[in-house]
Amino acid sequence: MAVTTVAAPPSLPAHIAAETQAFLDAPALLQELSHGLGGPYHALFPERFDTNARAFTAVLEEAGVAGRVYFAKKANKAAVFAERAAVLGLGVDVASHGELREALAAGVAGADLVVTGPAKSDVLLRVAVLQGALVAVDALDELERLTAIAAELGRVSRVLLRVLPGGQPHSRFGMSPEELRTALGRTDGLHVEGFSFHLSGYDPQARADLAGELVGLCREARGLGLRADRISIGGGFAVDYVGGDDWRRFQREQLPEHFHAGKSFHGGFYPYHSPVAGAEALRAVLAATPKGERAPLSALLRDAGVALLVEPGRALLDQAGCTVFRVQGVKERDGHGILTVDGSSLSLSEQWFDSEFLPDPVLVPNGPRERRTHPACVGAATCLESDMLTWRTVPFPHRPQVGDLLVYLNTSGYQMDSNESPFHELPLPPKVVVEAAPGSPRPRWRLDRHP
């Protein structure tokens, strides 16, 4: 009788920036934090955030385009990133009263905030008006409430009018052309500074096409006596997590048998390799020629005297953090290992999207170990069959043991706290800020100031 063998699962190593490597090169520090904090934790690298922010700003300057970079705070709750945004002169994009309050506490001026999100609460709108924040108005009823609040306060509210993308007519964000015309006729007590949109996907051409339409709307609005000198194209700048060759090999070689219990993901996976990512994606948007135009978007913006606002979250957080779990159980099942770690899949939020965070976690052995590939999936310390951090079997270089650490790389963009929950009374992983220590090869750390 023939024996069927399953090909070994492919590895998918993540890119590792210098800040992360310095952290991994201090295994005693990782173990010390795991012991002292009593569970999993998130490590944050603010120096990498600074590098990413400067790269985005440099693209605008090189293109000769007036503009502003806003950090999308929803991508990570940590205080340190809003604090760095304030120091660097970035704005911050907030979508709730809590995010607005935290941004102000971090030192961001009210005038440097843009308030996005659908159907904003009256509390949020009231504080936004008082602080002089820019409000992206999503609907006519929101416009009416904002106008009434501004009149009650005796203030003039700064607004962008959010446009429904023509290519996404079923989107729940933005106003249709008819609603937009109505809105432009109801601007008393409002300072209309321009237009914005929310666009899914990562296609630079699609973003440039819609940006070109918004430049046209600015010209029309000026004919109505409105300021209309800026547009916001939101975020949507991809992050390159893994190398191109590794990503293509993974897509080519992965099999259903490589996933524990035959798990499949109907939602698909994030494009973990993107050849045009981060600030380079912004450069590609500016270099693209919008549909119906003869010049690139950068020239269109300059000629129209329109500033470009961008709101990256994930891209500003690229390589700015990782997540550390301790292995507290190891068993074998169906030809592969099952690791149980001291936390929950809710601390890696990709599962929220019926997907999985695919880059290989790094195993940090708690002592010398024979090198021998050992495929294993990763489960959480809860009583739910479905609570898995990694369904696929990862080819670890050693057989994991209790007390080893598992480090998920590049998790600061949306993974850390979008879906967190103290299920089973497990504490939420704290965030520690890790920075270079002058005169020492070992990094130093402190707790983030977010409560």
Q: What is the 3-state secondary structure (H, E, C) of the chain?
A: CCCCCCCCCCCCCECCCHHHHHHHCCHHHHHHHHHHHCCCEEEECHHHHHHHHHHHHHHHHHHCCCEEEEEEHHHCCCHHHHHHHHHHCCEEEECCHHHHHHHHHCCCCHHHEEECCCCCCHHHHHHHHHHCCEEEECCHHHHHHHHHHHHHHCCCEEEEEEECCCCCCCCCCCECHHHHHHHHCCCCCEEEEEEEECCCCCCHHHHHHHHHHHHHHHHHHHHCCCCCCEEECCCCCCCCCECHHHHHHHHHHCCHHHEHHHCCCCCCCCCCCCCCCCHHHHHHHHHCCCCCCCCCHHHHHHHHCCEEEECCCCCCCCCCEEEEEEEEEEEEECCEEEEEECCCHHHCHHHHHCCCCCCCCEEECCCCCCCCCEEEEEEECCCCCCCEEEEEEEEECCCCCCCCEEEEECCCCCCCCCCCCCHHHCCCCCEEEEECCCCCCCCEEEECCCC
Region of 408 (left: φ > 0; alpha: ψ -120 to 50; beta: rest) is beta
Phi, psi (5° rounding) for residue 9? Answer: -65, 140
pLDDT score recorded for residue 5: 61
| Residue 36 Cα distances to 17, 29, 328, 361, 432, angstroms | 26, 10, 16, 22, 12
pLDDT for 424: 73
pLDDT of residue 425: 76
Residue matched to tokens 């964000």: 173
Q: Are 202 and 274 in contact (CB under 8 A)?
A: yes
pLDDT at 451: 77
Which residue has tokens 């995010």? 99
Count CB-CB contacts under 10 A for residue 293: 16
Maximum Cα interatomic distance, the chain, rounded to a whole number of Å? 85
- Short-list 17, 96, 15, CA closest to 49: 17
- pLDDT score of 2: 43
What does the mean pLDDT of the chain come to?
95
Between CA 306 and CA 316, with CA 311 as vertex, the angle to 5 degrees is: 130
- What is the rounded distance in angstroms from the CA atom of residue 193 to the CA atom of residue 160? 6
Residue numbers in the chain where pLDDT is lower than 50: 1-4
Phi, psi of 314 (to 5 degrees): -55, -40
